[in-house]
Chain A
Amino acid sequence: MAATIQVENLEIVGRRGKGEELPIVRNVSFSVQRGEMLALIGESGSGKTTVALSLLGHIRSGCRIAGGTIRVAGYDVTALTPHERRSMRGRVISYVAQNAGSAFNPALSIMRQVVEPALVHRILPRRELEARAVSLFRVLALPEPETIGERYPGELSGGQLQRLMAAMALMTDPEVVIFDEPTTALDVTTQIEVLAVFKEVFAERGITGVYVTHDLSVVSQIADHAVVLKDGAIRETGTVSKILFQPEDPYSQALLAAAEPRSRQTDLAKRPAQPALLDVRKLVVGYGQATSAGLPEKVIVNHVSFSVPKGGMLGVIGESGCGKSTLARAISGLQPWAAGELFLNGASLAGSVRERTPEQRRHLQLVAQNADSVLNPSKPIGKTLERVVRFYSGLKGEAATRRVNELLDMVRLSPALASRLPSELSGGQKQRINFARALAADPQIVLCDEITAALDTVVAAAILDLMKELQRDLGLSFIFITHDLHALQSICDRVAVLYAGQAVEVGPASTLGKGVHHPYTRLLHDSVPLMEPGWLEATQRRRLAEATPVTTLNPLSPDPELCCFLARCSDRVGGLCDRVPPPVLSVSQGSSVLCHLPASIRPEFLS
């Protein structure tokens, strides 16, 4: 039997502006058998999305197919007329985009968009299509399947939109579905749910799929075969278990090594306790008018306390919207807080950066997530750094240049780069410059807000190494804000887990995954996919088994005093968690947990 997808010697070229054509995809061949899922693995710029889109006969503007053939479900995709191509797209082969938030048209209701592929191909009348959509919503475990279609994209969450996009892709019962990083923009706790639902539906409907991703753990859960791409060429092809467990190509091995959770812990963590460098006490940050209780109308960061010792590295973790970035902005003095106190070296810090002393400003530096938004695109990076050097240390001319070279050396970049513009640097290099800019102030503590989130795994791993080196060599302290538990565990000595603006747990990073934890910490830890076949099913089974039916509780009242995790907690105890605000309990491993810690979760972990 012929393969459902058969790509042979595919060559795609593209040009930027008026330059000459450069190859984007080089001699790529692969095939996918009916009912199988193929993972296209690669980093940004590897051409994986370009290959995936070419299966639909779609080539982005400025690019063209220069050679090779693509056959999908009996269609010769490269030889189709525009009309034939339209009739194939959405009907025989459908696409699930990376970011459902922007791939849904904000001006149209969900239902109009979900039924559209089936409607334009005249598969069924609208009324029957809507009924089919509702049943798909139910299969994909969406809330209120009957009415969710009447809503607009702006009214739904990222995880819901991603599942709605899958529903849209399945409306026409296609033979092939292309998934382009469908869970990358999701939080881990949401990702696992979406993955589980996707996998179940594929198996049920016998769909042939291509799954584009850079996340090897996801690959291990969802795909049968994998193709590793680098710079538009295939490096390795094989079954998932072969590529993940016996990779032959050095690049596949490097990818795996970078994805492997690796401890960068040094003996530093075992030093005698250092005095607190930064002390955050009951910090409240929010927006809007103050209420009668003196708190803002919308509280984003809710009574968060922690401290960072000299030379310490504290990780702050939580899902999107939990208040991580607001916390960073407040600490760096960009966002005034409503209540609480902040101490740096024992001296109180003012809420606004303008009211802080120059010395305090120098000691506390922020490294932002997106280096592009920090570096002036029209200035060579050397000039950018020199400005910061002059501002903080008053050095000029020769001395300033020497200092800039010293900074570049600190972030392991060649001084020759000083004359380059930001656009001439790679993402990882830009992030290093971003670091050098902070180091120019000779700080004591550096706040890193999701600095590895936009980077590829290999590059991100190198940035983490750099942070560890800086901590060791300069005695720097860090606050590392992230949603990536592996990254956090590999470099941090302490962790603060944020949920809905509250620090639900503060404790040593080394005991994550063992000992007694807040139920949310446990959920977070268990949701990070492992590179183990069957992990997804096992985790889902465990979740279903322990879920507490909602009926045993009072109707959930949004009482701000009560536990913020109540609605999602599988360990909640009726009559206790929904009545009494959670206390801060200290547990043996040195963590403090904002939870009643019901008996159900203690014995299991004390062993």
Chain B
Amino acid sequence: MNSQLSVLIGRRFLAACTSLAFVIVTVFAITNILPGDATDALLGQGATPEAITAMRHNLGLDQPVFVRFWVWLWGVLHGEFGHSLLNGLSVADVIGPRLHNSLLLAGASAAISVPVSLFLGITSAIWKDTVYDRVISIMTLGMVSVPEFVIATTAVYVFAVRLHLLPALADVGSVHSLRQFLAAFFMPVASLALVTLAQMVRMTRAAMVDTLSAPYIEMALLKGVGPARLILVHAIPNAIGPIINAVALSLSSLLGGVVVIEVVFTYPGIAGLMVDAVSSRDVPTVQACALVFCVTYLLLTTFADIVTILSLPRGRKA
């Protein structure tokens, strides 16, 4: 690796760190301008002003905003996200198992959608303008335009309500057999995978079509290079940057999908937790969840950019 490359990557990291600092401040600011606070949710409508004041004091909500920001920031930097305002548990402990569940859901969806979409995208670029390509193109276009909650609720209606094949809720707690595993995960994973898949297929195909029309591909053909070598050695190395970029961007949109899917299937993940925390004004939990989402997003986009930098052909880096 040459120094020019390190400079480029270093610069990208610096940009990621700047974004992270910005995200931290924004998360705190937004959670603080949410109307109402946890005392409303905890004490209910009939609370006396004294009780509210005492509660606010106990929770540290009566301190100036800057003090609270520093206390919170200090905690975040040490991996300590504070305690849930609702049940007093450490936020980290509350999030831990939920994050695990969400990662499982997202990971399973990605494990299915990435290879499938790369395959479909690359093959439909190779067989451009054939029936195969047209069918994939129409199907992905359709899927891109359907929002995930429609797919998810349709799936519930068909498989749970009509066919009684699968439970409508994702019962992750009692998975002991493959049957139960499939029952719990099939619909959430499939709905999530479908949504991201369409996007990735389209972007992969576009990157590959672009590369396959390059003069050096025709040149390789005229050298007597066979189809497998043409795709693997000549086309993929040039298309890989845009493809990985497309994959990373689609995976980051998977995060948004997770929120909807978890709510529809009452899946016990971090997105569901965050939605509950917002409605109960559990600010530390909301903050921690928001941070987790933002950091994941940042990691994915940074990863995509670094791959793009690394895949740039030599002599074209500037």
Residues of A within 8 A of B (CB): 53, 56, 58, 86-91, 94-95, 97, 99, 102-108, 116-117, 120-121, 151-156, 168
Contact = CB atoms under 8 A, between A and B. Distances in A.
B216 interface: yes
B223 A168 contact: yes
B223 A154 contact: no
Given A105-B216, A120-B229, A95 B222 contact: yes
Contacts of A89: 221-224
Query: Counting chain B CB atoms within 10 Å of each CB, which of A91, A95, A99 scores highest?
Result: A95
B233 to A, nearest CB: 7
A108 B238 CA distance: 9
Given A117-B224, A120-B229, A121-B224, A103 B313 contact: no
Given A91-B224, A120-B229, A121-B224, A106 B316 contact: yes
Nearest to A95: B222
B315 interface: yes
Contacts of B215: 97, 99, 102-103
Interface string B306-318: 0000010111100
Nearest to B238: A107
B238 A106 contact: yes
Interface in B212-236: 214-216, 218-226, 229, 233-234
Contacts of B225: 86, 90, 116, 120
Nearest to A93: B222
B interface: dominant SS: helix
Contacts of A103: 215-216, 218-219
Interface of B: 214-216, 218-226, 229, 233-234, 237-238, 311, 313-316
Nearest to B311: A107
A126 to B, nearest CB: 14
Nearest to A117: B223
A-B pairs with lowest CB-CB distance, top 7: A154-B315, A90-B224, A106-B313, A89-B224, A155-B315, A152-B314, A90-B223
B313 A154 contact: yes
A88 B215 CA distance: 20
A88 B315 CA distance: 33
Contacts of B316: 106, 154
A53 B218 CA distance: 10
B315 A116 contact: no
Contact of A153 (B218, B229, B237, B315): B315
B248 to A, nearest CB: 20
Contact of A116 (B214, B223, B311, B314): B223
B313 A107 contact: yes
9 contacts: A86-B226, A89-B221, A99-B215, A102-B215, A105-B216, A108-B233, A151-B314, A151-B315, A154-B314
Contacts of A106: 216, 238, 313, 315-316
A167 to B, nearest CB: 13
Given A99-B215, A103-B216, A108-B237, A152 B223 contact: no
A116 B311 CA distance: 21
Contact of A90 (B222, B311, B313): B222
Contact of A104 (B216, B233, B314): B216
A42 B237 CA distance: 37
Contact of A105 (B222, B234, B315): B234
A102 B214 contact: yes
Contacts of B315: 106, 151-156
B234 A58 contact: no
Given A106-B216, A108-B233, A108-B237, A87 B224 contact: yes
Contacts of B226: 86, 120
Nearest to A92: B224
Contacts of A94: 222-223
A102 B216 contact: yes
B234 to A, nearest CB: 6
Contacts of A107: 237-238, 311, 313
B174 to A, nearest CB: 51
Contacts of A53: 222
B133 to A, nearest CB: 13
Given A103-B215, A152-B314, A120 B234 contact: no
A105 B219 CA distance: 9
B314 A155 contact: yes
Contacts of B238: 105-107
Given A89-B224, A91-B224, A95-B222, 13 more contacts: A89-B221, A90-B224, A90-B225, A102-B214, A103-B218, A106-B313, A106-B316, A107-B238, A107-B311, A116-B220, A116-B223, A116-B225, A121-B224
A106 B214 CA distance: 11
A53 B234 CA distance: 20
Contacts of A87: 224
A103 B214 CA distance: 8
A86 B223 CA distance: 8
B313 A56 contact: no
A90 B226 CA distance: 12
Contacts of A99: 215
Given A97-B215, A102-B215, A108-B233, A120 B224 contact: yes
Contacts of B313: 106-107, 152-154
Contacts of A58: 218, 221-222
A152 B316 CA distance: 9
A227 to B, nearest CB: 21
Contacts of B314: 151-152, 154-155
A291 to B, nearest CB: 20
A91 B223 CA distance: 8
Contact of B219 (A86, A97, A156): A97
A107 B311 CA distance: 8
A507 to B, nearest CB: 38
Nearest to B236: A107
Contacts of B224: 86-91, 117, 120-121
B239 to A, nearest CB: 10
A252 B316 CA distance: 43
Contacts of B220: 105, 116
Nearest to B216: A105
A7 B281 CA distance: 83
B222 A56 contact: yes
Contacts of A117: 223-224
A154 B215 CA distance: 15
B128 to A, nearest CB: 9
Nearest to B241: A107
Contacts of A97: 215, 218-219, 222
Nearest to B129: A61
A92 to B, nearest CB: 9
Nearest to B222: A95
A217 B219 CA distance: 27
Contacts of B214: 102
B318 to A, nearest CB: 10
Contacts of B222: 53, 56, 58, 89-90, 94-95, 97
Nearest to B239: A107
A478 B298 CA distance: 55
B154 to A, nearest CB: 37
B229 to A, nearest CB: 7
A121 B214 CA distance: 23
A120 B229 CA distance: 9
A243 B216 CA distance: 34
A182 to B, nearest CB: 13
A106 B219 CA distance: 13
A493 B287 CA distance: 75
A7 B195 CA distance: 54
B79 to A, nearest CB: 41
A386 B157 CA distance: 61
Nearest to A60: B218
Nearest to B317: A154
A102 to B, nearest CB: 4
A153 B315 CA distance: 7
Contacts of A102: 214-216
A99 B215 CA distance: 9
A131 B316 CA distance: 28
